[in-house]
Amino acid sequence: MFLDSLMMPQNTETSKSEAIAYRDRLNTWAIARLLPNLQRTVVARFRSRSDAEGHLQRLKQLIPQASFILVFDCQPDSNKSNH
């Protein structure tokens, strides 16, 4: 058929780790909790800044003794561990 020749081939060989990495790149706004000794840990990621700001406000209400910051993370951590 003519339509079959117009269709683009699909890439069905996407690994689970590639899918997770792509999903992480979508969520570029991150909330990080500041820890002692200049360390931090990312506690949540969001696609939109407004969602991140709302969550940050709620975290500050729930845990007032903790320090959180909102960051635009264009290259998310691959292991999501403390730095």
Each residue's pLDDT tens digit in the chain (83 positions)? 444 545 545 555 656 677 666 666 677 899 999 999 999 999 999 999 999 999 999 999 999 999 999 999 876 555 554 45
Beta bridge mates, 69: 32
Token output for 46? 């969001």
